[in-house]
Structure 1
Amino acid sequence: MLLENKVVVVSGVGPGLGQALARLAAAEGASVVLAARNRDFIENVREDIVSRHGEAIAVPCDVSDPAQCEELARQARDAFGGRIHGLVNSAYYHGEWSFIENADPTDMTRGFDVNCLGALRLTQAFLPLLRNGGAVVNVSTMATVRPYAGDHGMEMGYAVAKGALNTLGKYMAADLGRFGIRVNTCRMGWIHGQPVEQHIQSMVDAGTPREEVVAGITSDIPLKVIPPEEDCARAVLMMLSDYAAVVTGASLDINGGHWIAP
């Protein structure tokens, strides 16, 4: 199995990619630490993993609070023997859709605090446990390289904060290699899970045929599918595995070819 005998921490375990990452990591043999602000949700995911004979603990954590990040690291250490092999920084705050003229700097500051500094805080808290072979993956977005907008505004605040995370990841990789820690970034595009399915259904409910909604999303995706949630999670977790043992400082685009980096 891809992550057999490894301990993996996943932040931002919510209804989207986060829960898929946690479930798949467990299925691939990892002991999993689930973290998010929603205690009930992560406990439900933990119970599901355990019911399938996996190992997991669920620890509420707000990555904007350094004390909670430190407590997460303490509980992970105590539960699984003091060694962490992988950390996935997928906690996020999306914030408002806006145009330049009505962008709220306060909301954008909140996005930066969670999306970028949250990953920094959590990585700092886990540094002692990641030394000598650990790996970090920062989950980012295609919107950092391909601006996305709709009638209600642009995905600007979220993308700008994740753009900062992209740069932070490069500095993490350059610095933490001396401790034997790899750091990579995964830039996600459309992910066909619960949140996207809700978006599709809302448009169907408004009168647009489902086939038309899906065709609109996939029209400029070369693979002509909305990338399935589990396949996206597999690509992220591969970066934690031994198959990427000498890969650090890289950015992996996971989007079915929707954005192809130069």
Structure 2
Amino acid sequence: MILKDKVVIVTGAGPGMGQALCKGAAAEGAKVVVSARSVDAIEAIVAEIGAKGGEAIAVRCDVTSVDDCNALAKAALDKWGHIDGMVHSAYYHPDWANLEAHSIDQLTQVLDVVAVGGLRMAQAVIPTMKAQGSGSIVNISTLATRKPMPGEGGYAMAKSALNQLSRQLAVELGGTGIRVNTALMGWMDGVPLQQFFASMGEGGNAFRKQRASEIPVGHIPVDADCAKAVYFLLSDYASEVTGAMLDVNGGDWVAA
């Protein structure tokens, strides 16, 4: 249990990676603050964690609101008195479109949720982590920031800004005991991707097999397994790691 007794906040605890992060962190011994905009969704995750003997609380948070982000950090402190980790996984994906004709409103929104939202959350937890002399921030990013994909430019722009946020904070917070790292996810097998393949009808299974064959590990990584890399970055095993961008995409970033 590499996160035993650590208090970890997770933003964007929706279907897929967000849920996997919360449940897995609890299984690794963390006390988890589960957050997203949907109260029903986060309360269901907390109930499942509790049924398995874990500890978690549900706190609604819209990361585009400074007040919500500060309230989220306060809820963790009020419940457990410290904050050891914060994972920024809040998600918004604009329409697939080439940048030359992309909706500026949607680009503004994804930047606000992903990049500026990451900064809001960092600002909310940094004072506590500084006072403790320790803390780990992990920002969830994407393979698309290394490997441009048609139609993915808007999302990749926002995640690229998040990547730089991690690097910048890692330097600015040097000597405080706070580490800041990024995990770059690629295609992940979980509920959202399964729904995507199902929406393709008869061609979905063939496309799944094709995509899996193009990834060096030979399969589409499972979201719950990808989440394990985040637990490492949160844990004391990564005590000497900061400013890193860890590819958690089955080697897809090096594939042609």
- TM-score greater than 0.5 by the shorter chain: yes
Write the distance in 2 (CA, Å) between the matches of 1:217 and 1:55. 37
How far is the alpha carbon of 1:107 from its aligned partner? 1.0
State the match for 1:140 in structure 2. 141
Write the distance in 2 (CA, Å) between the matches of 1:209 and 1:40. 30
Gaps of 5+ in 2: none
State the match for 1:105 in structure 2. 104
State the match for 1:225 in structure 2. 219
How far is the alpha carbon of 1:209 from its aligned partner? 5.9
Deviations 1:39-94 (A, max 9, x none): 1000000010011111000000000000011111111100012x111100111211
State the match for 1:93 in structure 2. 92
State the match for 2:235 in structure 1. 241
Please list every run of at least 4 consecutive aligned residues from structure 1 whose deviation after the TM superposition is greater than 4 angstroms.
none
Write the distance in 1 (CA, Å) between the matches of 2:114 and 2:91. 5
Write the distance in 2 (CA, Å) between the matches of 1:62 and 1:100. 26
**Does residue 1:163 correspond to 2:160, yes or no?**
yes
Contact 2:2 2:235 in 1 (8 A): yes
How far is the alpha carbon of 1:101 from its aligned partner? 3.1
**Does residue 1:4 correspond to 2:4, yes or no?**
yes
1:213 to 207, 215, 220: 207
SS across alignment from 1:253: strand
SS across alignment from 2:196: helix
Contact 1:172 1:183 in 2 (8 A): yes
How high is the TM-score relative to the length of structure 2? Answer: 0.96
Write the distance in 2 (CA, Å) between the matches of 1:85 and 1:73. 11
How far is the alpha carbon of 1:220 from its aligned partner? 1.8
How far is the alpha carbon of 1:244 from its aligned partner? 0.3
| Aligned-residue CA RMSD (Å) | 1.2
Residues 114-123 or 171-180, more deviating: 171-180
Contact 1:253 1:260 in 2 (8 A): no
Gaps of 5+ in 1: none
State the match for 2:57 in structure 1. 57
How high is the TM-score relative to the length of structure 1? Answer: 0.94
Q: Where do 1:127-206 residues align within 5 Å?
A: 127-131=126-130, 132-149=133-150, 154-203=151-200, 205=201
Write the distance in 2 (CA, Å) between the matches of 1:220 and 1:172. 34
Q: Aligned residues, how many? A: 253
SS across alignment from 2:138: strand
Which amino acid in the other structure matches residue 195 of structure 1?
P
Q: In percent, how many aligned pairs have the same letter?
A: 49
Write the distance in 1 (CA, Å) between the matches of 2:204 and 2:56. 41
State the match for 1:123 in structure 2. 122
Write the distance in 2 (CA, Å) between the matches of 1:96 and 1:200. 18
SS across alignment from 2:175: helix
